[in-house]
Chains A and B, each alone.
Chain A
Amino acid sequence: MSEKRVIFRGTALPLLLLAPQLAVTAVFFLYPAAQAVRQSMFRSDAFGFGERFVGFDNFSALLNSARYWDSVGVTAVFAASVAIITLVVSLALAAAVDRLIRGSSVYSTLLIWPYAVAPAVAGILWWFLFNPSIGILAYVLRTFGIRWDQFVNGDHALILVIIAASWAQISYNFIFFLAGLQSIPRSIMEAAAIDGAGPVKRFFTITLPLLSPTVFFLSVINVVYAFFDTFAIIDTTTAGGPGRDTTTLVYSAYSDGFLGQNFGSSAAQSVLLTAVVMVLTIVQFRFVERRVHY
């Protein structure tokens, strides 16, 4: 490999070159994160007149709350479903487009479109489609004898948010998978074909292993997405209901903080949520990445 490596002497220049990025990280991540950690140890009134230090009370209240653990469960089901559905569907779509000889750019463009839709709009779109009064999909389901009701039936509501959240993320996955597929050398595939391997066999023995870095990267991204970026979708489709059946951890932090003005608990939830995602990411890098071949 003839890689060009630049060696810096001293530390001043590298630091200077990194400074803009470090400054952005400090202002937009480190400072707010420190504020959240600080606020998680206080209790304050809505308008910010009084503040009282309570140590880890906010955390212990959360960990002793059955509702918080319910949210953990909902989040686990939600995040796992979104990550898996998104990966499988977008890989299938990318493989289909990759096999096309003509018109693949048209299909790619069409499949990338949903990514331009804002999450809140995506949420409302699916809310409409499944609305038991006016939704076309709810109507179709009724003809199959399924009385769809996302307002009362918790399973229906959870399915709805999983579909909406997955749909919004498929485009992103699709782009990476398509690029990954197109970078697989044709010669390997042709050699395998000559040896008598059918398309399915080629896919599982050659394509998928060669795509493993992409799959790994996307699975990390999808889990982070499901944990943090799905707030708008949940808010516009189910608002966490019925009951608390679609209240994920990030939605719970929002409703306690913004609707309830319970800033201490909300900050504690954010800190815990960030910690959970950090642990998950570390686990993914430590254990899953070993199976990845670059």
Chain B
Amino acid sequence: MTHAFKTAALAAILLSGAALPAAAQTEIQWWHSMSGELGTKLEGLATAFNETQSDYRVVPVNRGTYPESMTAAIAAFRAGEQPHILQVFEVGTGTFMAAGDAIYPVQELMADTGEAFDREGYLPAVVGYYSTAEGEMLSFPFNSSTPILYYNKDAFEAAGLDAETPPTTWDELAEAAATIVESGAASCGFTTTWPSWLNLESFSAWHNTPIATRQNGMAGLDTEFEFADAGLVARHWANLAEWQQTGAYQYRGRGSDAGPAFRSGECAILLESSAGRAAILANTDFEVGFGMLPYYDDVEGAPQNSIIGGASLWVMRGKDEASYPGVARFLAFLSSPEVQADWHQSTGYLPITQAAYELSQEQGYYDENPGSDVGIQEMTLNEPTENSQGLRFGNFVQIRAMIEEELEAALNGSKSAEEAVEAAQTRGNEMLREFEAQNQ
């Protein structure tokens, strides 16, 4: 009896002793939305950081798609259960910028914790997107991407097209897509992921056409949509609806749902984020070519430069004070040239710092992987204008879903392209006014 008790007590002491080192580590919760190849890579970053030191332990948790993790974090904040770091897609930037005391501006965090931070080291187009009008960086750019064109070289060859030259204008693309469908090289010419991003947002930037007043919303909450006014978006949507009829274009859902249609060989051309590269190369058995986004060559100023997508990391307030130095140290770790260059090269996301870009050049990455710098070329094609530096709207998650609803209505013929674009503008403005009213 006493013996058993002693053994148990000893075991308890040993166990608690063993648990001590672990308890001394401060845990840092990191909610993200990366799955598949990208998720594995991201978990690797957290592990690598955890191995460099023993004070903090970064715990990455996948909370579903971007809209899901963002809404989960907002709900968690209201309940006091928010994570330290949250990955928010670019569409949520407006919502989080208006979040006031819920967020800890990254630049302030770095200064408060004495972590080295050089704002000038980041690519201007990237850092500008996540800064206030006064130039304070609010969130940490982590995975920035830009849409590019992917094409199936085998299908191009089978259709008798030049497999080394991707189409550069919409006319060329439509012709190539029609040829592919007619020749039977593929049953679908081209498709697009992220329909609103590809067919309205970056489309407008690429043609140097404004989406909204007030520098596409960067300069204030009183912004108003004006993308219907130039008529260019309606023209494009009308074309898409026409091509949808012939099979040259096939709509395959919202988000990145269209990806598999290209990877399976069904569609020969795909407009997708540069970050789709990892998944595309891992899951295709044909040769993949890369090209810049197509443009309408009669539009003055096109092509301008593409805008970024992807996500940034927001730090949320209200956690244990002792954990914030760890958060800052982790962000500094993520922006080191080695980590960034590796992340950029293995995923297809853009390098967010000048140093990472240069390191990749030195390593000969772009020479060995033709096409891997298409995104960077698009970003830096021209000095960004007010129409192409980015966009920032409140309620944008909802607005984007609404834009996709209207696009779908144009595609299935229940509305004309003009009607759909007009409706999207009117409904979008209602949502902007609502956000403005909520955040005054």
Q: A: which residues have CB within 8 A of B?
A: 43-50, 132-134, 149, 151-154, 239-244, 255-256, 258-262
B282 to chain A, nearest CB (A): 18
Partner of B252, one of A133, A260, A261: A133
Across the interface, which residues of A come within 8 angstroms of B434, CB to CB?
262
Q: Which of B5-13, B34-42, B173-181, B408-416 contacts A (4 or more CB under 8 A)?
A: B408-416
User: Contact at B404–A241, with CB atoms within 8 Å?
Assistant: yes
The residue of chain B having its C-beta at the shortest distance from the C-beta of A150 within the complex is: B253
A44 to B409, CA, bound (A): 31
* Bitwise interface map of B from 398 to 422 toward A, beta carbon under 8 Å scored 1, else 0: 1001001110110110100000000
Query: What 8 new A-B contacts, CB under 8 Å, besides A152-B411, A242-B405, A243-B408?
Result: A47-B77, A47-B102, A132-B250, A240-B405, A242-B408, A243-B406, A243-B414, A261-B71
Across the interface, which residues of A come within 8 angstroms of B437, CB to CB?
43
B401 to chain A, nearest CB (A): 6
Knowing A258-B71, A259-B67, the reply to whether A239 touches B254 (Cβ < 8 A) is yes
A-B contact pairs, 28 of them (CB 8 A): A43-B438, A44-B438, A45-B98, A46-B74, A47-B74, A47-B99, A48-B78, A132-B250, A133-B252, A133-B260, A134-B260, A151-B251, A151-B252, A151-B408, A152-B411, A239-B253, A240-B405, A241-B254, A242-B405, A242-B409, A242-B412, A243-B405, A243-B412, A243-B414, A244-B405, A256-B398, A259-B397, A259-B398
Q: Which of B98, B261, B404, B405 has the most CB of A within 10 A?
A: B405
A260 to chain B, nearest CB (A): 4
Across the interface, which residues of B come within 8 angstroms of A149, CB to CB?
250
User: Contact at A152–B260, with CB atoms within 8 Å?
Assistant: no
B304 at the interface (CB under 8 A from A): no
A74 to chain B, nearest CB (A): 13
Partner of B412, one of A153, A259, A260: A153
Q: Which of B370-421 contact A (CB under 8 A)?
A: 395, 397-398, 401, 404-406, 408-409, 411-412, 414
Across the interface, which residues of B come within 8 angstroms of A258, CB to CB?
71
Across the interface, which residues of B come within 8 angstroms of A259, CB to CB?
67, 71, 397-398, 401
A227 to B22, CA, bound (A): 48
A229 to B116, CA, bound (A): 51
A67 to B426, CA, bound (A): 13
B165 at the interface (CB under 8 A from A): no
User: Contact at A261–B74, with CB atoms within 8 Å?
Assistant: yes
The residue of chain A having its C-beta at the shortest distance from the C-beta of B98 within the complex is: A45
B17 at the interface (CB under 8 A from A): no
A256 to B395, CA, bound (A): 10
B95 at the interface (CB under 8 A from A): yes
A189 to B173, CA, bound (A): 70
Q: Which of B105-154 contact A (CB under 8 A)?
A: none
B342 at the interface (CB under 8 A from A): no
Q: B: which residues have CB within 8 A of A?
A: 67, 71, 74, 77-78, 95, 98-102, 244, 250-254, 260-261, 264, 266, 395, 397-398, 401, 404-406, 408-409, 411-412, 414, 431, 434, 437-439
Partner of A262, one of B244, B398, B439: B398
A134 to B260, CA, bound (A): 9
Across the interface, which residues of A come within 8 angstroms of B412, CB to CB?
152-154, 242-243
A102 to B251, CA, bound (A): 50
User: Contact at A133–B266, with CB atoms within 8 Å?
Assistant: yes
Knowing A153-B412, A243-B406, the reply to whether A260 touches B438 (Cβ < 8 A) is no
The residue of chain A having its C-beta at the shortest distance from the C-beta of B99 within the complex is: A47
B52 to chain A, nearest CB (A): 33
A3 to B246, CA, bound (A): 72
B420 to chain A, nearest CB (A): 9
Nearest 5 pairs between A and B by C-beta? A242-B408, A260-B398, A243-B409, A47-B102, A48-B78
Q: Chain A: interface secondary structure?
A: loop
The residue of chain B having its C-beta at the shortest distance from the C-beta of A154 within the complex is: B412
B379 to chain A, nearest CB (A): 29
User: Contact at A152–B414, with CB atoms within 8 Å?
Assistant: no
The residue of chain B having its C-beta at the shortest distance from the C-beta of A238 within the complex is: B253
User: Contact at B100–A49, with CB atoms within 8 Å?
Assistant: yes
A226 to B362, CA, bound (A): 60
A94 to B437, CA, bound (A): 56
Knowing A46-B99, A261-B71, the reply to whether A241 touches B408 (Cβ < 8 A) is yes
Across the interface, which residues of B come within 8 angstroms of A261, CB to CB?
71, 74, 95, 395
A44 to B74, CA, bound (A): 13
User: Contact at B411–A242, with CB atoms within 8 Å?
Assistant: yes
A50 to B406, CA, bound (A): 32
Knowing A43-B438, A243-B406, the reply to whether A255 touches B401 (Cβ < 8 A) is yes
A198 to B404, CA, bound (A): 56
A262 to chain B, nearest CB (A): 7
The residue of chain B having its C-beta at the shortest distance from the C-beta of A255 within the complex is: B401
A256 to B71, CA, bound (A): 11
Across the interface, which residues of A come within 8 angstroms of B252, CB to CB?
132-133, 151
B23 to chain A, nearest CB (A): 32
Across the interface, which residues of A come within 8 angstroms of B78, CB to CB?
47-48
B47 to chain A, nearest CB (A): 30
B421 to chain A, nearest CB (A): 14
A133 to B267, CA, bound (A): 9
The residue of chain B having its C-beta at the shortest distance from the C-beta of A153 within the complex is: B412
User: Contact at B95–A152, with CB atoms within 8 Å?
Assistant: no
A44 to B395, CA, bound (A): 13
B168 to chain A, nearest CB (A): 27
User: Contact at B244–A45, with CB atoms within 8 Å?
Assistant: no
Across the interface, which residues of B come within 8 angstroms of A152, CB to CB?
244, 251, 408, 411-412
Across the interface, which residues of A come within 8 angstroms of B100, CB to CB?
47, 49
A218 to chain B, nearest CB (A): 34
The residue of chain A having its C-beta at the shortest distance from the C-beta of B420 within the complex is: A243
A134 to B262, CA, bound (A): 12
User: Contact at A45–B439, with CB atoms within 8 Å?
Assistant: yes
B438 to chain A, nearest CB (A): 5
Across the interface, which residues of A come within 8 angstroms of B397, CB to CB?
259-260
B145 to chain A, nearest CB (A): 22
The residue of chain B having its C-beta at the shortest distance from the C-beta of A46 within the complex is: B74
A21 to B410, CA, bound (A): 52
B153 to chain A, nearest CB (A): 20
Knowing A241-B254, A242-B409, A242-B411, the reply to whether A46 touches B95 (Cβ < 8 A) is yes
A196 to chain B, nearest CB (A): 55
B261 to chain A, nearest CB (A): 5
Across the interface, which residues of A come within 8 angstroms of B251, CB to CB?
151-152
The residue of chain A having its C-beta at the shortest distance from the C-beta of B438 within the complex is: A45
User: Contact at A151–B253, with CB atoms within 8 Å?
Assistant: yes
